[in-house]
Amino acid sequence: MAGGRWPVSGRGAARPAGLSLLRFGVVRFPGSCDEVDALLACERVPSAEAQILWHGDADLHGVDAVVIPGGFSYGDYLRVGAIARFSPVMGAVQDFARDGGLVLGICNGFQVLCEAGLLPGALLPNVELRFLCRQVNVEVANADTPFTRDCEAGELLSIPVKHTTGRYYAPPGVLQSLDAHGQIVLTYAHDHNPNGSSNDIAGVCNEQGNVFGLMPHPEHAVDPLTGSTDGLKVFASLA
Amino acid sequence: MRARVLVRPKAGILDPQGVAVQRALPALGFEGVADVNVGRLIELDVEDPSQLEAMCEKLLVNPLIEDYSIQWPEADGRSQDAGPHAPRG
């Protein structure tokens, strides 16, 4: 992916270095459960601050990047992410993303972004139909995105997954297009695909590169106490 | 008017619930069962039946991964399938 795809104008534009803090906004839906970990992960980035954005508020309060966190928004009723995508805040996120704003969706957030049409594909129940909670290795397939630029291409990151509905699916033609445009950002390492995802896909971005969703939880891998700090690179890449 | 929307996994996409059910039935002595899919049933009263297809496309169904059909049980017992999303044969 060309570096020129980094947004240079609009509300989500890259800030001139050293001028101000990067302001993250982390969305809280009814049923979110990882928004505090995401908030704390954002705050570990030295040049960043973070705040919660309420799902019923259509105002993003001028944040520079939006995080849609993990959890069970609206109880996962109907389909995962299906109700959350119509919440007031998501209307604002749609406009923000269209203007080049940076949007990161983690687990349920990835599901919401797919349902909203901000990312291609969908997440289906794991092949083994079980809730999975384990540490996996993911490979950085594209290090030239705003979300992975602190990583090396081919680098392995140790990050946990915890989900029941994490099997990434897209029709064959879409998978080819994702590959051709560098939109496959993270893949599960060999023998680490936990859920039957197509082409071992763990995370994808949109064609413009400013919206990224992944099933693993980088916000749970930011402290040596829990075994890995690799997830911090995703948040630090944005600063 | 009362409507039923039958939602099923799209053809060609692995349906692990269907596979699990298909494997369970022979264990109970039921032979000769194939191609099992598990979907969901949505029942609703709608004032304007012409809006139901749009409701399906926008919220009730994800057309990327699901097919659906619509039934109107009160209309002379006849069922009506929604064009391109008619059930598989």
Domain covering B2-85: architecture: 2-Layer Sandwich (3.30)
Determine whether the interchain pair B14/A196 forms a contact, defined as Cβ–Cβ distance below 8 Å: yes
Range of the domain at A25: 3-237
Q: Provide the 3-class DSSP secondary structure of residue A93.
A: helix
Asked whether residue A10 carries a pLDDT value surpassing 80, the answer given is no
Burial environment of residue A116 by CB neighbours within 10 A (0 to 12, 13 to 18, 19 or more): buried
- Whole-prediction pTM: 0.89
Asked whether residue B86 carries a pLDDT value surpassing 90, the answer given is no
Indicate which CATH number applies to the domain containing A133: 3.40.50.880
Residue B84 contacts A, CB cutoff 8 Å: no
Burial environment of residue A117 by CB neighbours within 10 A (0 to 12, 13 to 18, 19 or more): exposed
Determine whether the interchain pair A86/B59 forms a contact, defined as Cβ–Cβ distance below 8 Å: yes
Asked whether residue B72 carries a pLDDT value surpassing 60, the answer given is yes
Residue extents of the structural domains in chain B: 2-85
Phi, psi values for residue A83, rounded to 5°: -85, -40
Band the pLDDT of A20: cuts 50, 70, 90: confident
| pLDDT given at position A35 | 97
ipTM: 0.84
Count: domains in chain A = 1
A79, A127, A171 member nearest B62 (Cβ): A79
Determine whether the interchain pair A128/B13 forms a contact, defined as Cβ–Cβ distance below 8 Å: no
Q: What is the pLDDT of residues A139-158, one digit of tens each?
A: 999 999 999 999 999 999 99
| pLDDT given at position B21 | 96
Return residues 26-55 of B near A (CB < 8 Å): none
Asked whether residue B58 carries a pLDDT value surpassing 60, the answer given is yes
| pLDDT given at position A8 | 36
Return residues 163-192 of A near B (CB < 8 Å): 169-171
Asked whether residue A3 carries a pLDDT value surpassing 50, the answer given is no
Number of H helices, E strands in chain A: 5, 11
| pLDDT given at position A52 | 98
